[in-house]
Structures are given as C-alpha cells and as structure tokens.
Amino acid sequence: MAAAGSVRAALQVAEVLETVVSCCLGPEGRQVLCTKPTGEVLLSRDGGRLLKALHLEHPIARMMVACVSSHIRKTGDGAKTFIIFLCHLLRELHAITDKEKDSFFSENIQTHGRHWKNCCQWKFISQALLTFQTQILDYVMDHYLSRHFLSIFSSSTKERPLCRSSLEMLLGAYFCGRVGRNNHNFVSQLMCDYFFKCTACESGFEEVLELVDDCFVELKVGVTGLPVSDSRIIAGLVLPRDFSVYCPADGDIRIVIVIETIQPPFSTFGSEFILNSEAQFQTSQFWITERTKAIMKYLQKQNVKLLLSTVKQPDLVIYCAGLNGISVVECLSSEELSLIQRVTGLSPFVLPQASSQYELSNTAMVKFCKPFILRSKRYVHLGLISTCSFTPHCIVLCGPVQGLVEQHQDALHGAFKMLRQLFKDLDLNYVTQASDQNCTSSPLIYKNSRESNDLPEIVNGSIQRPYQDTVVKNKDELAKTQTYLKAYSNLVVPSVELETNILCSTPTVTLTATYQTDATLRCFSPNKARIMDDHEPFIESNSANSTTENTRREISYENLQVTKNARKGSILPVRDKSLEMCTSQSYCFSSVPAGCVLPVGGNFEILLHYYLLNYAKKCRQSEETMVSMIIANALLGVPKILYKSKKGNYSFPQIYIRALHALQTNQPMISNQTGLESVAGKYRLLTSVLQCLTNILTIDLVINIKRQPQEIYDQDSEEEL
Amino acid sequence: MSRLEAKKPSFCRSEPLTSERVRATLSVLKGIVTSCYGPAGRLKQLHNGLGGSVCTTSQSAALLANLPVTHPILKILTTSVQNHVSCFSDGGLFTAILCCNLVENVQRLGLTPTTVIKLNKQLLSLCTSYLKSEACGCRIPVNFSSTQILLCLVRSILTSKPACMLTTKEIDHISTLILRAFLLIIPENAQDHIILGKSIIVPLKRQRVIDSTVLPGILIEISEVQLMKILPIKKSDSFKVALFCVSLSGDLSDTGEGNVVVSYGVSLENAVLDQLLNLGRQLVSDHVDLVLCQKVIHPSLKQFLRTHHVIAVDRVGVAVMEPLSKVTGTRPIGSLDSISPSSYGSVKDLCTAKFGFKHFFHIIPNEATVCSLLLCNRNDTAWDELKLTCQTALHALQLTIKEPCVLLGGGCTETHLAAYIRHKTRSEPEGILRDDGCTQTELQLITEAFCSALESLAGSLEHDGGEVLTDGKYGHFWSVQADSPSVVNWPDVLSRCGCGLYSSQEELSWSFLRSARPPFVPQTCLPCEATDSAGNLTLDCFTAKLSGLQVAVETANLILDLSYVIEDKN
C-alpha cells in the first residue's frame, strides 16, 4: 500500500468512525446500545467504549482506537472529540495535498514542490506537526489563550477553596456528554454532593480524588429494577455481602482485620503430621479448639466487636465469635481490604503466639456496623472513621437495567479521573525566538523583571485592591512599560506581565530613559493594543466584583509563583548565550495552573483557531503557517457538530462570527452555554491527536499477514516447528 | 487450553427504531404481554422443543424468564421489566405494556428524541406527584384496623392470575390464608421499626386447593421411616433445642495444606466417633430434647441420642437454618467439643403431622414470627403459578405496610390518570413547559401519546371483544359485554366500574375510550364513605404500580434515545 494512500485510507476510516461517535457528542447526543458476546446489553455514550465494542478490523482503525484508549486511560475524557478532530485534520491534509498535486502537475516544478512528494511529503508534514506540537502550541497557549482562562477555585489563597457552583457547571457539562439526557442533571448533582461529602477539609481534595479514582468500584453499589431517581449517597462503606454472624453493638466499635484462618490448621504446607495414636489425634483436635477459643476470648477482652476476614473462616471460629459477641464479615476482596486500609490506616492483625496479655495494637474504630438491606439483598454497612482527608461515603446507583447502571458508573468514574487531571498543573515549555536587535539587552531587562517578580512575594496577595488603583492611575505609563518588557524579552508570561508591571513601575522609569529608541520602535507592534485590553478586566473588577474577574486575577498569581522558579533556572543559559553574541534562542517554562477552565460549546476550539490564524499570518516559515492553518481549521470541526441542530442566532456561523468579532474588538466572548470544561484536558487531547496523526503519517506501508495471531500456538506446537 | 482468536468485527446499525423488523418484533412482544393482562387474560404455554416441563402461565415473571429474546432492544425492555418484578413482584405486565405502548405511540409522531424525552419526563413527574399527593382521586389510604382493604388487594392479585386455575371459593380461601400468613409474621410487640418474620411456602402438590392451610412455626418434611424412629414425643410445655450447622457425620474436617500420615492400626474414624459420642453425652447431660442438624448426623450418634430419648432430625438444609435459629432462639453450633449452654434454645411444642401423603415434623415456637403456608394445587404447573402468586401477594402486603395506601385497580387508575394529565396540560401548559424550549403543540402531541398509552393499557384488560368506556365525572373505566345491543341506555348494560367503586346508577356521561372526548376535570378526593361501603373493590399495590410507571417511562425514553446498536458477534 502506498504512502499517499495511507492518508486517504485513514481519512475513510476516520470518517466512518466520526459518523458513529458524532451522534453521541454533546448535550444533544443520543445513546448507543451495545451487546456483549455474553448477551448482556449495555447502554453507552462513552466514545472509548463504543470504539472498543466495534472490534474493528482495519489496521489503521485499530491504531486509532489504541491511541484513543491510551488517551482515555490517562484523562477519562475526550474520546469522541479525539476522533472528530483527527478526522478533520485528515480531511484538511487531504484537501491540501490534492491542491498541491494539481499545482505540481500544472506548473511542473515549484521551489518546494519536491518536499511535497509522496513519502517525503508525509514525513515532512509529520515533522512539522511535531514541531508545532512541541513549540507553537505551547507558545500560543501561554501567550494568547491563557488570558481567557477561568479558574475553578473561588479565591487565590494557598488552600484554594473550590467553588461549588463552578464545579457544578464543570460536572454538568461533563455528564451532558456522558449519560442520557433525562439523567445528566441528576447524576451530576449526585456526583457533586458526593465529592463535597467525601472531602472533609477544603485542602485535601486531591487526595480524595486519587482515592476515589483508585477505589471507585468498591465505593459504589449498583441496584437494578429501581428508577434512577432512587440513587443516593450513603455515609460509610457498604460491602456487598452479609455478616457471617451479626451481634448488634452500640457506640464506637473496635475492628480488626485478619488475613488467615484463626483456627490453626492441622498441618501446614510442606510439612508432614504423623499420627501415631487415636489419643494423639484427639488431643491435637482439642488443642486446636482450645486455641481458637483462646484467640476469640482474647479479641473479646480487647473489646473487639467486628472481625473482617479476607478468607473464609471455619464454622468453629464463627461459632466462637458469636458466643463472644463479635460480628464477622468474611471473604473481603483484596481491593476492599486495601480501601479499608487506606481509609483507616489499619494493618492486619497478627495472631499472638502464646496466650498474650499485651494490648492489641492493630485495631481501628468504626462508628457503626449494621446490616443494610437494598432491594431485599443484604449488605454490610460500616461507618469507618477516616484517618485521611477522605470521609467514606458510598454511592447507590439505581436504574431499570444493568446497562444503565453501568453507564452511570463509568461516567462517574471518568468524571473523577477528569477532576484529578484538572487539579494538576500542566507544564508548557517552548523556545522563543528573540529578535536580533534586542538580544543584547534582554539579560538586563530580564534581571529587572526578575527583581520585580520578587516584589509580589514580599507584598503577597493579601492586599490586591491598592494595586488596582495604581493600574487605573498609571494606565498609560504602565502600558508603555509593558511594551518594553514585551519587546525586550519574550520570556515574560502575559498573565504575569500585568502583575509585574504594577509593581515594577518605578524601575522601568529608568529603563524608559535607557532604551527609549527601542521602545519607540516597538510601539507599533500589535502588542500595545493587546496590553491595553489586558487592563480592562482589572478596571472592571473594581466596579463589578464578579467571580469571573476574580478568578482571572488568581490565575495570574498562580502563574507568578510557578514561573518564578522556572525563570531562575533559565536565567543562566540566556546570559551565556547573549555573551556569545545572540544565538537568539531562549527556553521558556510555564504552566497552565491547576483548575483552569473555559466555558463549553467549542470555546477553546474557537479561541485557539483564532490565535493560530493570527500566528500563521505572522509566521515566516511556510510550513509553520501551513500546519497552523490546518490545525486551526480542523479545530472548528467540533463546534460545527455541537451546533448542528441549532438554528437562527445559535447556528454555528452566527456563533463563529460573533466570537471572532468579540476577539478582534477585544470584547469578552459571550457564551450562551452554562457549563465549563477543563483546559488541561483539551490541551492533552490536542497533543494526543497530533501524536496519533504523526504516527499515521509516518507509516508508509501496511503489510497484511494472513496468519493466526502468534499467541495461539502453545508450547508443544512451537517445539514441533 | 485457552485459544486466542481474532475477534470478529461487530455489527453496527443506525437508527434501530426506524427499521421495520424492529417494529414488527416489538409489536409481537406487545401482543404477547397484552393478551396476558388481567383476570380475563389468555394463558401462554411455553414448552421447550428439546425437552423439559411445559409451563402454562400468564405472569410476566414466568413468561419473560422463559421467553428467548434476541433483539437487543427487546432485551433492554424485558430485562428492565424482569428487574422491576424481582424488586416488587407485582406490576410486570403493566410495565411491559405501558413501555411498548409509549414507544409505539411516540414513534408515530416523528418528533426529535430530545423533545420527546424531556416532555415524557415532565409528564411522568406530573403523574408521580399527583399519585403521591393527598388529593389523588385514585388512591385509598389503608386502614389497618380492618382487613377489608388488604383482603381486597390479595383477592385482586389472585384474580388477575388466571393460570392458577382457582374457583371463586378457592380464591376466597387462599386469600384468607395469605392474609393470615402475613398477619402471623408481624411481631406482636413492635418497636419503632418492625422487622417482619418469614412465611415459608411448603409445597403439597396434587391435593385439593381447599386443603391448603397456614400453621405457625416451621414444618420440616421427613420420611416415614424417620417418623417411626421419632415417635413418641413426651408431653412437656417446653423443649430444649440444639441446632448444629456443622456436620455430625464423623468425617474428618479440613486437615490443612500439609500431609497427614496415619500409622498402621490407628483408626481415625473411631477417634472421631468417640468425639461425637462425647458430644452426645454432653447433650444428654444438658437435658437437650431436640437436636437439629443442617447436615448429616452419624447413625451411631443418632442411635445413642434415641436411646436417651433425644429427638434427632438431620438434613434440614441451609434454607430453614435462619428461621429455625430465629424461632428457637438457638445459636447455630459450629463446634464438636464443649458447647456453651447459651447456644441452646427452646420451643413450645413438637408434633408430627401428616398432610396429604407427606409427613412433617412440626416445630411450634413460644412466640415467633415464622409461619408455614402449606399450599396445595392440582398439578405442577398450576402449583408453580399459585406459588408465584402467593409470593407476589405477600410481597404486596409487605410493601403496603411500608406505604399504607393502595391504588384503584381494574383500569380505573390509568383512565383517571390520563384524564388528569389531559386536563392539566390543557389548563396550565406554562407550568410544564417552563424552560425547556418546547412548544405547546409538541406538548399536546406528547400528552396525547402518553395518555392514549395509559388508556390502551386499561383497554387491554378487555379480551372478549367487548367495548370499553370511560365516564365524564370520575374518569373511571367501564367495560361492556360483547353481545350487548348496539343502541343502548348505558346504565342498563353497565353495572360497576373496573375497580368497583362506582355503580352505573349514577348519571355519568359515558363515552368510548377510543373516541375523542373533551377534556374534563376528573373529580379528585375520594369520598370516605365510598371506600368503606364498597365491599369488593379491585385494588393494586401502590409502591409496585408507581415504580412500574416510572420504570416503564424511563425504559421507553431509553429506547427512544438509541441512535445506534452495536452487536458483538463473538
């Protein structure tokens, strides 16, 4: 198979997949019914699951599905968008190469016509894509997009308290694309309640998310045959089994965990027990009984009321436990055990060697332990007292059929994964090209900005108001200094710029004098206009103290702290280079802070589209321009599908034009959607798609092998061969 | 040997509901469930061509469990009905028919699924809030000081299962038995929350239904040979009981993972038997009168116990272990040496009884909440059906205790509810359409589909070609015999409405259920005296029906929302 065919083939495959997944995308998406080979039915809107259920044969399709699943495993979101985006990228590429071919034939030889020929051409493009992904994307994200970011946290202090309403919006949007239309509000409310109930203190939510993500299977109970609205949250842990023996107890209950049978076995593994007489047999049996009784007595003396066992205990142990008023739960799975251990910090009980009198150390307390009946099935309900920031709660998920329960369960699990990703910082690093004339001066300025960066640390974020006044007053002056900074060092992260400027207005006065000439040179640059509007939100926030504006400010602070370290690290190489006479490259490290979100409805895509086009216009290298254009156009695929069914004012062209207009005139973008989505998730998705695309492009031959899969041969047949 | 094989690609179909085949299969399923519905429902005979017993039934539980369904959409429908039945026992056919009707009606409209689902959900919440409200005109509160309503409920359930093959007299008898069995399991001194006991259904096939009976306590079936050994039982007012969950057969218990080497001449059997006899001695010295064992008792131990006038009954099985330990107050013993005296329990009386051709050992407890319902019926299939019905009725009674009200049966709830929704959507559509972006026309269309689904559900109670009517005051359901003259004075041919609450003597404006009628305000708030005076009402379990309604609408929404079906062919 020729390489040129590989894009066409990939496009065909991607288009087929697109038609399947696009029907479930977004709030208007519908359900897909999957049957398992066992005959069970499953409802799903989860792109990853659907793609897997298709069992595709085509090699490229299988590769795509593999890419999607590895992305999903990491982030828990974005399978459908992945396919749609990939499909649009391929479509754009295909269109461009068709055009190139035409021109190739008509004009015979062009200057870079040779680049765009077959294999070389694809390799070239894939390299360009890679460069884009590693350099341009991060740069654009950092420089342009970051000022649109909102944050999920309601204030900028160290504890970063979560804003409930933003979290609700985020989850609402997530479940809109995951569960049936009549249930998404209910499920997202349930998830929100669950999250806040489980989080004991404000700061520990990362730990909670990690634990819930890891142990979600143990934290939910599925019930079929009841309406979905009967789902609820229960305090404590519910284990899907009945007590082997139940003795009611009040107050705080002491528990122990055992991982072996309490009754000593007759003989252990690898040993031999020689019986010489009947009396010996009877004595040893007697000893076993007495020993078991002694251990149970000991546990009772230590006031243990509940025994959790990972193994099945013999009848004798159960009987003795009952006599001593100890409840027993047997056959805990290893996952349940590890969850209990994580929550309580309890380690398994080691059987005492002799009849010991010492205090039992490995115990934990539970608030209650009682049978719990759901749909006439009995469960064990434990009120574990947590030693970490996770307060144990369980979700009871109800639904008329198992398939629906599973869908909700998967969606909830995915949501926890998504949140976990959201609360991580996303590192961006890229190389900036500093222009020749100012590379000598850049270290100077750089130092300067560093000094000024130290200032906010001293003053700290506690008094933010005064600054804003300064902003208004020194608006003109600041705008100027801003430009200098911008001009001399591209290193400064835009969101930090503002803060820096407010504080470093004094030092820059001197700077103005020194580098007057350069400043005037740069004054024409589009930066100026941009910086002016950078101030706008601040002025607004003086009058209207809306949450959006607030959060905006917090991000800046966050950025400040993160970037500071990075900059310290980067100062040395920059200085070296400038001494060597302007190699004009500097590495920049930045990050998208944790909790960054954007409104849903293709906002991210349209923004990135706009800024990429802008970037492409400024670019000198043709392939960079081309790749940026391709990606910018492909990005619009998702919002196009989202607004497909909308008419009139809410149709896609209308929305698109309004958004572009707003961006050009520096007005805030107005979104008619209420949901939010994670920026980091979108960014990761974009990079995963680009990686997948480069993979596809670098393949030049698909070799079809007509043989059974390798693993089918067992040991014998291999030897025969 | 496990073989790894390449998976076959799945089969993917878009817009499954539009295909003619799916519609046809759905209507076949609908035909099956509809024809089973109600007291006049037709029976279905399910038999497997490869062998096995023939099942004659009209109950959804038995029907759907045996019906092989291949299409995934039907599978969703049937599993959701089965899950509902396993939760509430009652209302399976109701759920299935309503769901089929809804899917069929809504599909005809051709509206977008989003609108349909939103509005269906709104209408459902309108229904549930009305049914739960005090003003509901088809709900009767249950007065536990009289058994009248409970008896009506049980009788309605029995009547609606024609495959039990009961005569009116037999229905009366069985419903009294069921109610008595239910009352026996309610503890006498109830605290803040009641823990109900258990009624065990004991099979006694090929006997007359009239021979069925209810006994307090537990019946354990024993063979005649065993019975000979047990006799006679001494007279006493209390018997001491020991209940073993461990085997007393003398087999060696688990010896661990290592090897056990036994020297020549050492007999472990003797050693264990010695141990068992020691146990026997202890039991005798503790003055135990009755030894019950879940598993097998060694013949020597049995013999030993008999010579000391201790009754031994073994192989009682794990099913009765819990009720046994509950009625006797014993703790199941899991040890062969030294039994703690606190593990023993006691019973009031012991006797043997013979019902039909079977012998039973009857344990009568001091005060307990366990009873045995001896159920007789002529043949196996009818007995199976009757047993299912009894379980349904007992479950319905339990649910009624939790939620003390019942709904009118006989189709009246459905027609009344339809009339209420029609009136509500016509009079205040703004309240329903609040922020959904749906138009009034869409609401009217969906309302019509929803209400006619409810009404044709009620209409499917009539199987003999008769006409179905509804009145313009209460919105109840009336049916007319098939052979009644065409031009009629309605009060002459009608006697009572479906649930039996109203008689035709009142001047009500009747009209055909299928014809278009002007919407009217159905009279809410039942008159108290009406519920007291009417002797023989047809009633339905409130919780089961409400949940059935919810599940039906949710499942229909689910089916309507499907855009693709992916079938894994592996």
- Residues A57-100 have pLDDT tens digits of 888 888 899 999 999 888 878 888 899 999 999 888 888 777 66
Please state whether the peptide bond connecting residue B232 to the residue before it is cis, i.e. omega within 30 degrees of 0: yes
Is B563's CB within 8 Å of A401's CB?
no
Is B333's CB within 8 Å of A319's CB?
yes
Cα distance from A320 to chain B (closest Cα, Å)? 8
Rounded to whole angstroms, the Cα distance separating B226 from B209 reads 28
Residue % of chain A over a pLDDT of 90: 12
Top pLDDT among A362 and A195 is at A195
Q: Which residues of B touch A402 (CB under 8 A)?
A: 79, 83
Is A182's CB within 8 Å of B6's CB?
no
C-alpha closest to that of A444 among A579, A564, A556, A562:
A579
Is B72's CB within 8 Å of A33's CB?
yes
The pair of structure tokens assigned to B471 is: 């009145």
- Check residue A371 and report its DSSP letter: E
Q: Which residues of B touch A229 (CB under 8 A)?
A: 550
Give the range among A408-422, A428-442, B181-195 with minimum mean pLDDT: A428-442
The pair of structure tokens assigned to B228 is: 């000979």
* Torsion sign across C-alpha atoms B433, B437, B439, B442: negative
Residue type, position B311, single letter: I
The interface residues of chain A toward chain B in range 537-596, judged by CB-CB distance below 8 A, are none
- B43, B57 Cβ separation under 8 angstroms: yes
pTM > 0.80: yes
Rounded to whole angstroms, the Cα distance separating B532 from B529 reads 5
Top pLDDT among B443 and A105 is at B443
Is A285's CB within 8 Å of B275's CB?
yes
Name the residue in chain B with its Cα closest to that of A24.
B563
The predicted pLDDT at position B130 comes to: 92
Q: Which spans in A580-698 are helix H? A: 603-618, 622-635, 637-642, 652-664, 679-698
Q: How open is the CA angle B338-B340-B341, to the nearest 5 degrees?
A: 125
Q: What is the pLDDT of residues B511-569, one digit of tens each?
A: 888 777 777 777 766 655 555 555 688 999 999 999 999 999 999 999 998 988 888 87
Half-sphere exposure of B115 (CA within 13 A, CB side): 18
Residue type, position A344, single letter: T
**What mean pLDDT do residues B85-105 have?**
94
The predicted pLDDT at position A108 comes to: 42
The interface residues of chain B toward chain A in range 275-314, judged by CB-CB distance below 8 A, are 275
Rounded to whole angstroms, the Cα distance separating A110 from A275 reads 97
The interface residues of chain A toward chain B in range 284-313, judged by CB-CB distance below 8 A, are 285-286, 289
Residue type, position A433, single letter: Q
The contacts of residue A565 (CB under 8 Å, 6+ apart) are: none
The residue with tokens 């229905």 is: B171
The predicted pLDDT at position B390 comes to: 95
The interface residues of chain A toward chain B in range 596-655, judged by CB-CB distance below 8 A, are 645
Is B566's CB within 8 Å of A33's CB?
yes
* pLDDT at residue B500 is higher than 50: yes
The predicted pLDDT at position B4 comes to: 57
The pair of structure tokens assigned to B419 is: 């009339």
**What mean pLDDT do residues B500-513 have?**
80
Is A314's CB within 8 Å of B268's CB?
no
Q: Name which of A35, A266, A323 is nearest B567 (Cβ-Cβ).
A: A35
The interface residues of chain A toward chain B in range 652-711, judged by CB-CB distance below 8 A, are 708-709, 711
Q: Packing angle between helix A59-75 and helix A79-107, nearest 10 degrees?
A: 140
Q: How far is CA A226 from the centre of its chain?
A: 32
Give the range among A272-281, A391-400, A699-708, B103-112 with minimum mean pLDDT: A699-708
The pair of structure tokens assigned to A348 is: 């398994």
Is B117's CB within 8 Å of A285's CB?
no
Q: Which residues of B touch A231 (CB under 8 A)?
A: none
ipTM above 0.85, yes or no: yes
Q: Which residues of B touch A227 (CB under 8 A)?
A: 547, 550-551, 554
The answer to whether B263 contacts chain A (CB < 8 Å) is yes
Give the range among A6-20, A183-197, A570-584, B554-568 with minimum mean pLDDT: A570-584
Q: Which spans in B316-355 are helix H? A: 321-328
Q: Which residues of A touch B14 (CB under 8 A)?
A: 23
Task: Specify the pairing of strand B539-541 against strand B345-347.
Answer: unpaired
Query: Which uninterrupted H or E stretch holds A488?
Result: helix A475-488
Secondary structure (3-state) at B45: strand
- A20, A54 Cβ separation under 8 angstroms: yes
Q: Which residues of A touch B546 (CB under 8 A)?
A: none
The answer to whether B245 contacts chain A (CB < 8 Å) is yes
C-alpha closest to that of A443 among A580, A545, A260:
A580
The predicted pLDDT at position B112 comes to: 86
The predicted pLDDT at position B27 comes to: 93
Rounded to whole angstroms, the Cα distance separating A579 from A576 reads 5
Q: What is chain B's mean pLDDT, rounded? A: 87
**What mean pLDDT do residues A157-176 have?**
79
* pLDDT at residue A493 is higher than 50: no
C-alpha closest to that of A560 among A624, A494, A617, A634:
A494
The residue with tokens 């909308």 is: A646
Q: How open is the CA angle A213-A216-A220, to the nearest 5 degrees?
A: 150
Which of B294, B330, B394, B564 should one mutate to test binding to chain A, selecting the residue with the greatest count of A CBs within 10 A? Answer: B564
* Torsion sign across C-alpha atoms B122, B126, B129, B132: negative
Query: Which uninterrupted H or E stretch holds B468?
Result: strand B467-471
Rounded to whole angstroms, the Cα distance separating A616 from B429 reads 53
Bridge partners of residue A253, in order along the sequence: A366
C-alpha closest to that of B74 among B120, B27, B108:
B27
Name the residue in chain B with its Cα closest to that of A54.
B10
Query: Which uninterrupted H or E stretch holds A586?
Result: strand A585-592
Cα distance from B120 to chain A (closest Cα, Å)? 9
Q: What is the pLDDT of residues B414-473, one digit of tens each?
A: 999 999 999 988 888 887 777 667 888 889 999 999 999 999 999 999 888 888 888 888
Q: How open is the CA angle B167-B170-B171, to the nearest 5 degrees?
A: 85
* pLDDT at residue A457 is higher than 70: no
Give the range among A151-165, A454-468, B289-303 with minimum mean pLDDT: A454-468
Give the range among B186-200, B275-289, B384-398, B403-417 with minimum mean pLDDT: B186-200
C-alpha closest to that of A160 among A678, A551, A493:
A551
Cα distance from A613 to chain B (closest Cα, Å)? 36
Rounded to whole angstroms, the Cα distance separating A195 from A202 reads 11
The predicted pLDDT at position A101 comes to: 56
The pair of structure tokens assigned to B86 is: 């396993």
Is A278's CB within 8 Å of B338's CB?
no
